[in-house]
């Protein structure tokens, strides 16, 4: 395994070990290299760079996937990631709400509903997250 | 003028007074209410909320507009905004680069080229921005 | 509550009171301000303007959300709205079909299937809608 | 030439003869069938259907292309078309403004700027369009 | 029935007779002309042209729908079509993986998961597809 | 430099050495790592895989970028790439025309116009490309 893979897996341990494990399992019979590229490129190359802290990285990713509008599993996975690195539910909701201005209300609303599902799974409460 | 408008204009004075002035002028003969909605809703309602600091608000907006891929004037305007509230060129480039993972390389590359134009207009230099 | 909110709620009473009630309930624990912005900005500011009649407003919204392609709950909500303000099922289908030219066949087809679900819920029949 | 082509060309004579002529010329050396498909499918099949009047067809198209965000030449062509079939500049601007709610402010703003260019080319004035 | 319809149906018999039958049934009460346009325009006009072989046509369609990101039923239908005209599961997965570069990882991953569902329905196995 | 970078550069020498050189120069002062990621990930990891031939890889990329609709510089770069690896202008136009079905006519038309610019730069002629 490459250094980039190891670096990516280290990041993923902090950010979202469960999502990556699920991804790896879902891809192992069909496109195992794709899981490897996620670890190597997304986490080993990009998330491992020092120019941004982990919380900012997850919030801008949430903004991007909310704007895509059609990738709810990945949005939920990164909402988990954001909570794992210390973002509050309030911050996450706030980023998604702001997307109403740039990506339109429908995508922002569907983003909020994805966040709601994640918070319920984790029993996170808005206004109660410290 | 509404309170929300006043609040929005206050925010805009800090974030991006020049862009808003240009917007107002461009819209005055054709859709002046649209400029007002930008001040009232985007800045008076959303950017005035206390849950996120200004730098994070600009960075997630840059992520969103890079992901849209087709709104280069607004992307450039928010890159100006991000610099105005204290983001470094490095942080801005880093957010846009991360979009390669979520929105694909073409949109990330075009986002970087928009940033390059803004930095050149302002004579900002990467690695030299303090 | 603001005038804009009252004006928005008046519009919503005509256009789509059930959808808004559901939206408000879904958002109340997580992002109640978002429901308020929908009433204030979308309905109080935009839909309350006099330049377009309600039917045209709903048809252009259906065109836009079909083009987004990924916001089926909002599409269904506006198909309800269109029927509530007097659009016929035939007009709604016709707008969505036309989107094949501009947004491609997959989005148009998925839009038609959303309309089909709404018509079945309401027992509306194509060619039988008077 | 097929019936559908003739029917499409008849529609185009009313809606937008200049844009189609330009399209045909631009495509003649590279993809002449593509111009034929526009006449046959878009205008002969879709716009010739009786379920919607021409004005509504142009307004929903403007909504869709504004939402795409990246097809300014086609947006301008349909703003011409809308004016040709009797839509007022005010109605056109109103549809594009409404897109702020569904497609976000950047796409709506860029749509307005495209409309502004068209109105200037034709010397149409907002509030002065009768 | 037009020649184009007949030609389209001939293509569909080779490419994807089951998907088209389902589409026709789903549309018959609501938008039967839409099914006819799919046969006439997509298959009779476009897929019947001689410039590209059937396998390439299905692979570029899979690339496009993966990039749209929000039309999973149509993506699955064209993955069936690609297999029907002789593409291997490996080729299909490879096209979708390449989309990570152009459309981003979330859309590529969701495309792979759609392919996985299709392969499981048909009991196709990666590395075992001859 | 990594093996993946070397492998990517080897591919780029065959596919599109000029575009990559330009990209590298455009990024060198602002985001040099981004050029490296293009060589390493897009060309070293993805395009170097053996499951698809180079021509198919370029055609599916053209399908994807046409569908994005907003990345004309990258579309033109890959039209050059497609010609460099032996695709004919007719095949390229055919792929872009097919996108009318999936991504809508505006994006297909703008894709054709980008191809036209590339063919003119290279003095390629449709029907004259052998």
Distance (Å) from the C-alpha of residue E6 to the closest C-alpha of chain A?
A: 35
Res D34: pLDDT: 98
Residues of D in contact with E37 (CB under 8 A): 41, 45
Categorise residue F56: left if φ over 0, alpha if ψ from -120 to 50, beta otherwise. alpha
Provide the mean pLDDT of chain E.
95
What values do phi and psi take at E31, rounded to 5?
Answer: -155, 65
Most A CBs within 10 A among E65, E74, E106, E108, hence the mutation to make, goes to: E106
Contact A31 E93 (CB under 8 A): yes
Contact E102 B105 (CB under 8 A): yes
Res F103: pLDDT: 98
CATH architecture for segment(s) E52-124? Up-down Bundle (1.20)
Q: Which residue has the higher pLDDT, A130 or B71?
A: B71
Q: Does D113 touch chain A (CB under 8 A)?
A: no
> pLDDT tens across F65-124, in order?
999 999 999 999 999 999 999 999 999 999 999 999 999 999 999 999 999 999 999 988
CATH of domain F1-51: 1.20.1290.10
Q: What is the pTM of this model?
A: 0.97
Return the residue of C nearest to F102 by Cα: C104
Distance (Å) from the C-alpha of residue D128 to the closest C-alpha of chain E?
A: 40
Residues of chain C with pLDDT under 70: 127-130
Q: Rounded to whole angstroms, how far apart are CA atoms B107 and F60?
A: 17
Domain boundaries, chain F: 1-51, 52-130
CATH architecture for segment(s) B53-130? Up-down Bundle (1.20)
Contact between D43 and D17 under an 8 Å Cβ cutoff? The reply is: no
Q: Rounded to whole angstroms, how far apart are CA atoms E14 and C44?
A: 53
Q: Does A41 touch chain F (CB under 8 A)?
A: yes
Most A CBs within 10 A among B102, B104, B105, B107, hence the mutation to make, goes to: B102
DSSP state of A43: I
Contact D102 A103 (CB under 8 A): no
**Average pLDDT in the A33-62 region?**
98
Most F CBs within 10 A among E63, E66, E103, E112, hence the mutation to make, goes to: E63
Contact A64 B90 (CB under 8 A): no
> pLDDT tens across D101-112, in order?
999 999 999 999
Residues of C in contact with B45 (CB under 8 A): 37, 41
> pLDDT tens across E96-114, in order?
999 999 999 999 999 999 9
Res D25: pLDDT: 97
Res D1: pLDDT: 72
Two domains, one topology: E1-51 and E52-124: yes
Cβ contacts below 8 Å, chain C against chain D, sum to: 93
Contact between F78 and D11 under an 8 Å Cβ cutoff? The reply is: no
Res B91: pLDDT: 98
> pLDDT tens across C45-74, in order?
999 999 999 999 999 999 999 999 999 999
Q: Does A54 touch chain B (CB under 8 A)?
A: no
Residue matched to tokens 């184009």: E4
Q: Does C5 touch chain B (CB under 8 A)?
A: no
Task: Give the right CATH number for A53-125 from 1.10.600.10, 1.10.260.40, 1.10.10.10, 1.20.1290.10.
Answer: 1.20.1290.10
Contact B103 E104 (CB under 8 A): yes
C-alpha distances in Å from residue D17, one per residue of B83, D20, D71, D85, F62: 47, 5, 19, 12, 31
Name all chains with 3 or more CB-CB pairs below 8 Å to chain E: A, B, C, D, F
- DSSP letters, F51-120, are SS-HHHHHHHHHHHHHHH-S-HHHHHHHHHHHHHTT--HHHHHHHHHHHHHHH-HHHHHHHHHHHHHHHH
Return the residue of F nearest to C100 by Cα: F104
Contact between E85 and E78 under an 8 Å Cβ cutoff? The reply is: no
Grouping H, G, I as helix, E, B as strand and the rest as coil, residue A39 is: helix
Nearest to A102 among D101, D102, D105 (CB): D105
Grouping H, G, I as helix, E, B as strand and the rest as coil, residue A2 is: coil
Provide the mean pLDDT of chain B.
95
C-alpha distances in Å from residue B41, one per residue of A64, A121, D100, F55: 21, 32, 11, 49
Residues of chain E with pLDDT under 70: 127-130
Residue F23 corresponds to which tokens in the numbers above?
């990209």
Percentage of residues in chain E having pLDDT higher than 90 = 92
Percentage of residues in chain D having pLDDT higher than 70 = 97
Name all chains with 3 or more CB-CB pairs below 8 Å to chain F: A, B, C, D, E
Residue B86 corresponds to which tokens in the numbers above?
């204290």
Residues of A in contact with D103 (CB under 8 A): 103-104
- DSSP letters, chain C, are --HHHHHHHHHHHHH-HHHHHHHHHHHTTT-HHHHHHIIIIIIIIIIT-SSS-HHHHHHHHHHHHHHH-S-HHHHHHHHHHHHHTT--HHHHHHHHHHHHHHH-HHHHHHHHHHHHHHHHHHT--TT---
Residue B99 corresponds to which tokens in the numbers above?
């979009």
Nearest to A34 among E68, E97, E119 (CB): E97
Q: Rounded to whole angstroms, how far apart are CA atoms A92 and C37?
A: 18
Q: Does A100 touch chain E (CB under 8 A)?
A: no
Return the residue of F nearest to D66 by Cα: F106
Res E113: pLDDT: 98
Res B125: pLDDT: 78
Nearest to E64 among F47, F93, F102 (CB): F102
Q: Rounded to whole angstroms, how far apart are CA atoms C92 and C83?
A: 8
pLDDT band at F129 (very low <50, low <70, confident <90, very high): very low
Domain spanning F52-130: CATH 1.20.1290.10: yes
Provide the mean pLDDT of chain A.
95
Contact B108 F33 (CB under 8 A): no
Res C127: pLDDT: 65
Nearest to A97 among B46, B93, B100 (CB): B46
Percentage of residues in chain D having pLDDT higher than 90 = 92
> pLDDT tens across F1-44, in order?
789 999 999 999 999 999 999 999 999 999 999 999 999 999 99
Q: Does D5 touch chain E (CB under 8 A)?
A: no
Res F130: pLDDT: 45
Contact A71 E119 (CB under 8 A): no
Return the residue of D nearest to C75 by Cα: D102
Residue A74 corresponds to which tokens in the numbers above?
């990945």
Distance (Å) from the C-alpha of residue E128 to the closest C-alpha of chain F?
A: 14
Contact F51 E91 (CB under 8 A): yes
Q: Rounded to whole angstroms, how far apart are CA atoms B43 and B3?
A: 12
Distance (Å) from the C-alpha of residue C102 to the closest C-alpha of chain D?
A: 7
> pLDDT tens across A77-127, in order?
999 999 999 999 999 999 999 999 999 999 999 999 999 999 999 988 776
**Average pLDDT in the D27-38 region?**
97
Contact between B64 and B105 under an 8 Å Cβ cutoff? The reply is: no
Percentage of residues in chain E having pLDDT higher than 70 = 97
Residues of D in contact with E45 (CB under 8 A): 37, 41
> How far from the centroid of its chain's Cα atoms is residue E5's Cα?
18
Q: Does E96 touch chain F (CB under 8 A)?
A: no
> pLDDT tens across D37-77, in order?
999 999 999 999 999 999 999 999 999 999 999 999 999 99
Is pLDDT above 80 for B1?
no
**Average pLDDT in the A53-64 region?**
98
Res B129: pLDDT: 47
Nearest to D60 among C41, C74, C98 (CB): C98
**Average pLDDT in the D104-130 region?**
88
């Amino acid at each position: 395994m490459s250094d980039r893979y190891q670096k990516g897996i280290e990041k993923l341990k902090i950010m979202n070990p469960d999502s990556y494990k699920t991804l790896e399992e879902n891809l192992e019979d069909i496109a195992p290299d794709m899981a490897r590229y996620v670890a190597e490129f997304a986490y080993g190359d990009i998330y491992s760079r020092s120019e941004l802290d982990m919380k900012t990285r997850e919030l801008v990713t949430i903004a991007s996937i909310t704007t895509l509008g059609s990738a709810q599993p990945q949005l939920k996975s990164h909402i988990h990631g954001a909570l794992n690195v210390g973002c509050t539910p309030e911050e996450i909701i706030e980023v998604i709400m702001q997307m109403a201005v740039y990506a339109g209300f429908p995508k922002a609303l569907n983003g909020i509903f994805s966040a709601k599902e994640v918070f319920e799974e984790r029993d996170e409460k808005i206004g109660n997250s410290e």
